[in-house]
Amino acid sequence: MPSPFPGMDPYLEGAEWPDLHSSLANAIKRLLLPQISPRYTARVNKYIVKDTAPDEDLGIFYPDVELLNLRSGKVEEPAVAYGSSSKLTPPAFTATSHPVIEVPIPFIEIREVENNELVTAVEILSPVNKRAPGLEPYRQKCLDFYSNKVHLLEIDLLRRGKRPFNDPRLADAQYVVRLARWNSREQQYWTMTVKNPLPVVPVPLKPVDPDAILDLGGALNLVYEESFYQHSLNLNYRSEPPLPAFSKEEKVWTEALLKTHLNPT
């Protein structure tokens, strides 16, 4: 059963995101390999990012960490530790320190088989790529790709967070795909809202070879059906989708779409 949404399903931006991220990377690899083999190979690799997630993300993306925090409870120091007669100055405020979490980020590497040269990287942005402390290291990683003559295709299917690339024409976009070819000063952007299908985009290789073609919507539909997301307890289409909240007009459109999906005639 396909997703009720024509493109990105905003309900997948919550607790199912880690599974979607890794599954989508593998689906993209499967779609590209028949086009680029035997001259090139595509593999899913991972790098580790240290994240200090805000409270609202712990239960969504890192439920195990939230569970450990709940079990540990709050430790209260006894007043006698400072002497019962001490007159302490009260603090201006109290802040909670967030745990440092090591997050594996999957991405796709396209390499030339003959010399194992990295030709193209396909990055699916994660929440940690779109906020501190991971935002600036990710931006540097993108610059490193360019300086090492590696094409970069970035796929941002998360409405929340700060994008690592800036352009005023992206202000109204909820989802963005960006292609940066190392041998061109021009960058290509595909922009979508929740109402739009995901695009079919080029995946560059060596200049002597034609681009491969990635049907991003087809990859997402493949993952949705193979993962049986329609049966997931994390996807409650009768509730609000994960933050950020939709505009009033988008909310009306989404409610009408889901009403048809949940109550087919």
Q: What is the mean pLDDT of residues 173-189?
A: 97
Show the tokens assigned to 65. 């960490």
Q: What is the pLDDT of residue 265?
A: 64
Q: Is the per-residue pLDDT at 58 higher than 70?
A: no
Q: What is the pLDDT of residue 228?
A: 94
Tens digit of pLDDT for each residue in 106-123?
Answer: 999 999 999 999 999 999
Pairing of strands 117-124, 151-156: parallel
Q: Is the per-residue pLDDT at 130 higher than 80?
A: yes
Helix (H/G/I), strand (E/B), else coil: 27: helix
Q: 61-70, 189-198, 246-255: which has the minimum mean pLDDT?
A: 61-70
Q: What is the pLDDT of residue 101?
A: 81
Q: Is the per-residue pLDDT at 81 higher than 90?
A: no
For the chain, give every domain's residue range. 10-67+98-262
Q: 26-30, 82-86, 238-242: which has the minimum mean pLDDT?
A: 82-86
Rounded distance between C-alpha atoms, residue 150 and residue 178, angstroms: 14
Helices (H), ranges, 3-62: 17-36, 55-61
Confidence of residue 100 (pLDDT cuts 50, 70, 90): confident
> Taking a C-beta distance cutoff of 8 angstroms, is the pair 216, 199 a contact?
yes
Cα dihedral angle (232, 237, 243, 248), rounded to 10 degrees?
A: 170
Averaged confidence pLDDT in the chain: 88
Contacts of 148 (CB under 8 A, 6+ apart): 118, 182
Which carries the bigger pLDDT value, residue 72 or residue 109?
A: 109
**Type and span of the H or E element at 188:** strand 187-192
